[in-house]
Amino acid sequence: MKQQKILVVGSTNTDMVIQTDHLPVLGETILGGTFFMNPGGKGANQAVAIARLGGKITFICKTGRDVFGHQSHQLFEDEGIDTSYIFSDSKFPSGIAMITVDHKAENCITVAPGANMNLTPVDLAKAKPAIDEADIILLQLEIPMETVEYVAKVAKEQNKKVILNPAPAQPLSEELLSALYLITPNETEAELICGQKITDIDSAIKAANLIKAKGVKNVIITMGSKGAFVCTDTICELVPSYKVKAVDTTGAGDIFNGALVLAISEGRDWIEATRFACKTSAIAVTRVGAQSSAPYRNEVDVFNPEK
């Protein structure tokens, strides 16, 4: 089968990470943490995950004209990502994320989006050849909603497969939802979209069907350690997660989405694709960092953890 072209439109950040014994409470100062920097951003994490798994990937984003922007661009090229439509912003700095990770691998994150929030429909109009050439388009919500809606609208008109990872959680228009081939919310994001709180499989089924009623063709709800719930016209099934010792969950959802899209591009069925994504994200949480934790294809192929 001919390899399908994947386009990711989204954010790129530099993650500044501090590992601590526990997450600080309001007004608390914690001494003794370990600091390091990693490339991140939901869009960039997903693009790198796809590239490392062997996907044919183009990434559209906007960086500042600063050292972080230059480093990001070079890193994408080193990963084999097509960077033809990475825009440079003279007004805003590159995006930055401040991340604290505790000994249980839980995290809290604060993002200064910078140039990410100035990625506009005007920029995407200049990058229309990338949309035209893509078979599958992956979006998230760390760029302006009007840009997400523009890409989805143009792609829908060309019958492209548009996949939305609706994070961070925001209200979504019916027009956007109706343009989607697949949406991949977590439990909190799914509740915001449809109003159904998810506590078990039955409530996940209700939530998925409510989201589908809004025009989305397929729904996969990520449910943390439980796994991922797949709902299509023919399947409603929970794909279990894999048991591993988590070190850092930062970016795990992004790695899941990148792997899922790659598997779909290879023609895998829904359950196989979701299982592949669960396995890939399981590897990622055993490592520190977001983008840096994305595994390569050979690592996923030989990984055989307990379900």
As annotated, the active-site residues are: 254
* Side-by-side strand order, sheet with 107-112: 34-40, 13-19, 95-101, 107-112
Positive or negative CA dihedral for 189, 193, 199, 205?
negative
In the numeric block, the tokens 């990434």 are attached to 59
Residues 6+ apart with CB under 8 A from 40: 12, 13, 14, 15, 97, 99, 250, 251, 289, 290, 291
Beta-carbon contacts of residue 137 (< 8 Å; ≥ 6 apart): 6, 7, 8, 9, 131, 151, 152, 155, 160, 161, 162, 163
